[in-house]
């Protein structure tokens, strides 16, 4: 798979751009509906894609080599599906032919988030959600 094909695998759901909290005792990761300040809420695309590593040091950078390290990725993430030998769903843009299908199917963050800018980190715990499935 070429670098370009690898990039195209991303379905644009932006679930990985949601802020998460880790349980210190169990290591379990819990998603919030607070999203990275650099996400364009309209398109669900990163507004700082080229600079993302510099601006957000923990921004996920998936490669074929490190995909197994990100156990917290949503179960719908295309990279995770491929790594687990599963098929892409019908709403994936590479299957549907439309970048909007992932939003229409309701599996993206579109219209479901608040920017992290508006919530103090001490309050993030009040913004946990259960609609992102990891298992």
**Is 82 or 128 the residue whose CB approaches ligand SF4 more closely?**
82
Query: In whole angstroms, what is the distance from residue 125 CA to residue 99 CA?
Result: 32
In this structure, the number of other CB atoms found within 10 A of the CB of residue 134 comes to: 17
Query: In whole angstroms, what is the distance from residue 34 CA to residue 15 CA?
Result: 10
- Please tell me whether residue 132 binds ligand SF4 under the rule CB under 6 A: no
- Please tell me whether residue 78 binds ligand SF4 under the rule CB under 6 A: yes
- Please tell me whether residue 16 binds ligand SF4 under the rule CB under 6 A: yes
Task: Please tell me whether residue 32 adopts helix, strand or coil conformation.
Answer: strand
In this structure, the number of other CB atoms found within 10 A of the CB of residue 129 comes to: 13
**Is 34 or 123 the residue whose CB approaches ligand SF4 more closely?**
34
**Is 74 or 96 the residue whose CB approaches ligand SF4 more closely?**
74
Q: Are 113 and 35 in contact (CB under 8 A)?
A: yes
Stretch that binds ligand SF4, among 24-32, 35-43, 116-124, 125-133 (CB under 6 A): 35-43
- One of 31, 32, 34, 39 touching ligand SF4 (CB under 6 A): 39
| # residues contacting ligand SF4 (CB under 6 A) | 23
Binding site for ligand SF4 (CB under 6 A): 10-17, 36, 38-39, 46, 48, 52, 55-56, 59, 62, 73-74, 77-79
């Amino acid at each position: 798979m070429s670098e370009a094909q690898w990039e195209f695998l991303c379905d644009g759901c932006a679930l990985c751009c949601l802020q998460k909290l880790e349980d210190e005792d169990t290591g379990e990761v819990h998603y919030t509906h607070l999203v990275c300040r650099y996400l364009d809420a309209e398109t669900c695309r990163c507004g700082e894609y080229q600079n993302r590593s510099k601006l957000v040091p923990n921004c996920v950078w998936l490669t074929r080599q490190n995909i197994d390290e990100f156990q917290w990725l949503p179960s719908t993430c295309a990279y995770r599906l491929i790594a687990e030998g599963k098929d892409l769903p019908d709403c994936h843009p590479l299957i549907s032919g439309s970048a909007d299908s992932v939003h229409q199917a309701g599996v993206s963050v579109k219209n479901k988030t608040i920017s992290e800018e508006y919530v103090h980190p001490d309050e993030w715990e009040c913004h946990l959600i259960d609609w992102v499935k990891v298992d």
